[in-house]
Structure 1
């Protein structure tokens, strides 16, 4: 859990190895009373892009620093932020500034170097100078897959993706998990959901293997086939599934809830309540999409594009609304109040108003997180304020402040799991024996 330097400085990270959604406790001892130091973290993603964070602290009268209890005096964040060294990781000064941390190899952990340096040092000096006094350092590993979690590549009919199964015989609540316009296959959320008792299918829907590189419209039949695959699996509860979608994946999730009766729990994360940019074909009928108005995209003072105002007014989007009132699904809309890519909170609250007007008999709710941006991911994923986006072929602002985004991700992760567990297990049409077995499993995990 710790490393001791020649000077007797002890840096501890507890635990030294853990699941990615778990917090750690960082402490330093053996310092001089009142000594100024810089805590530093460093990590590389799948592309070898270098991400760093740093914070300035001052030792107490015992020569100790406890990050859980002491405030940062400056650096990448200020104030009390126990997981700040992980939540505020940003591209190093020699990297492209607007780079998003990508994790595709979930079978290997993220490896984080945590160090403590003498004095209050700038990020440029930390990255570029070789004359700094390193007092102590440790290597910390953050795993996406718990022991016993299985990753199963999926090629079922036209369906492409990866299924993640918790350890044990099950059956487990099943989930279809989707992201947005980044395309390809992102597995990190599904891998972590499997650690928490869910059978999660990370579903690709374009630009992966033999799937189309570009999609002009989607067909609900593809997503029906994904649900069919889950429900046929012997380790998945067979009475219904949940769906999770971020951004573009959000309106795909809503489409699945609207047209696939077996979808009984739907989580959208900063998504839409109508098809965006690509339409949805349902049994020969095309539900057309609304389009972003590129003429309303503005440039922020920091030189990145803000697409929030490019979303059409609500009265225009209403023309493209899906028949949500015919769904059998419960809806949870997770939104960041500082989402600078989509006016997600307004859309989510309007969708709930629409459901209320139609006397919708299933659960629906909005959970909003102050200061949180567009890319709400599992806890302690590095906050990304802006990154290159293929739709606009430019750096796009996602919003959020590092401190509140980190807090928002923790809260959203718990809200999402509780919602899915409630609707897929506790309210599911399962016999009492299976129900108790599943609850016991989750308590064990």
Structure 2
């Protein structure tokens, strides 16, 4: 049922005019449809969102909604004006406002964020990768705010549909791992293999995060999502690491019959990045290393290699840290130069690996561009013979995730017991995630050996994306 005219007038005071009342009656009487094509896909795939059957030039709000495993509600909205034929095509038309503006085909999905009723500094984690994210897409009459769309008395949508986004492709295997001290989950691609293999790690959020490994396996890469604290019988908090734990993880991966040797790769974000550099420095069978916004020395806790301890960088002195106007802690300006603490610098020049440093230039947590360039300076100074590259993304923040992950510019962080600013401008950050994903996949396939078709697929996906988005 439609709301009474007085209530709609209250919610949308600018909507009523001599023509708009008739427009609302006309559009409500038509067969309005909203569609997502494809209706079900892998999470790293783009979609086409359309609304049809509207009145010519009708103002509408597109609304995207999703709940996580904790029942936290995420949403995004976008304001559009239908064309002369009563259609809205998000792939070709500009949003006039809402969660984003201008042409942004995947904006509704990429800008999902906590609803007004939720704690705004909540970060979306996909814990259950076996089941897809289920999104509801709706179209409403008029340009509504988030609060108006969420209000119990709001008008019913003109049309709604559901869309599924899967992390595991058909035939991908998820295998819990308890191997010696190693704790994690192995994801294997469909097929006989053998496949290039990687160890995949995240940062100080702790626990076990599987969503990137699941997606890598869906794209032909065997991936071990590796926990290193706050999971199962591992230490509950960050403690001094020993390289032997990570050696054992690599040993497990290389022993698997579906993992192609003679070496594997490693991927690490934030704290996981300096762990990845440690592995590349001290484990000869690491042949490809991808870091995402990290230091080049151990942070928080040190790394023990035999009898030697590579000490962590000193704690922040807080002289340049500040709280922004939303109450989030900004750490980027507090740059700790590892060259002043040479005992902490990891000897990456000893590595057998090729290096890909992925950097968000708007990272407000770590001055990651500075550290990535320092790493390359060190490699050049030692005449490093393997391939290495810094790939920087303007406007991207700290949390560079696989494509179409919800952009989180700040979230509560247990290390500081405060919200921490991660940075990133939504549209640039989401586009960077797409580009970095293709870059990383292509790098891993090339460096670890792979079926030619898989390398071609990654390169083809990248070329198609660049032609259609840039």
TM category (shorter chain) comes to over 0.9
Check whether the contact 2:133–2:165 (CA below 8 A) recurs between aligned residues. Answer: yes
Q: Residue 24 in 1 paired to residue 44 in 2?
A: no
Match of 1:54 in 2: 77
Q: Is the 8 A contact 2:361 2:397 kept in 1?
A: yes
Q: What is the distance in 1 between the residues matched to 2:54 and 2:104?
A: 21
Distance in 2, Cα, partners of 1:298 & 1:386: 14
Change (3 A) 1:339 1:327: same
CA change 1:288–1:77 in 2 (3 A) is same
Unaligned regions of 5+ residues in structure 1, if any?
A: 427-434
Show structure 2 runs of 5+ residues with no match. Answer: 1-26, 462-470
- Structure-to-structure mapping, 1:120-139, within 5 angstroms: 120-139=143-162
Equivalent in the alignment of 1:13: 36
- The structure carrying a bigger strand percent of its residues is 1
Alignment partner of 2:433 out of 409, 412, 416: 409
Task: Judge which range, 131-140 or 262-271, deviates more.
Answer: 131-140
Is 1:226 equivalent to 2:249 in the alignment? yes
2:330 alignment partner, one of 299, 302, 306: 306
Number of residue pairs matched?
434
- Report 1:321-360 matches (<5 A): 321-360=345-384
Contact map agreement 1:57 1:72 (CA 8 A) in 2: yes
Q: Say whether the 8 Å CA contact 2:313–2:338 is kept in structure 1.
A: no
Alignment match of 1:117 (pick from 140, 164, 175): 140
Structure 1 counterpart SS, 2:449: helix
> What is the TM-score normalised by the length of structure 1?
0.94
TM-score (norm 2): 0.90
Q: Deviations over 1:319-352 (max 9, x none)?
A: 4111111111000000100000000011101110
Tell me the SS of whatever aligns to 1:289.
coil
Contact 1:425 1:438 in 2 (8 A): no
Give the Cα separation in 2 of the matches to 1:216 and 1:148: 37
Q: 1:419 to 1:13 in 2, by over 3 A?
A: same
Q: 308-317 or 7-16: which moved more?
A: 308-317
Please list the CA deviations of residues 73-123 of structure 1 after superposition, one character each: whole Å capped at 9, or x if unmatched.
000000000000010011000100111001110000000000000000000
The structural deviation recorded for 1:438 is 6.6
Q: Out of 309-318 and 222-231, give the one that drifted further.
A: 309-318
The question of whether the paired residues in 2 share the 8 Å contact of 1:171 and 1:438 is answered with no
User: Residue 271 of structure 1: CA displacement?
Assistant: 1.1
Question: What is the CA RMSD across the aligned residues, in angstroms?
Answer: 1.8
Q: State which of 276, 279, 289 in structure 1 corresponds to 2:302.
A: 279
- 1:203 counterpart residue number: 226
Deviations 1:259-284 (CA, angstroms, capped at 9, x unpaired): 00000000000011111111000012
- Whether 1:422 and 2:463 are equivalent positions in the alignment is no
Structure whose CA Rg is larger? 2
1:61-80 equivalence runs, <5 A: 61-80=84-103
Give the corresponding residue for 2:121: 98
Match of 2:401 among 371, 374, 377: 377
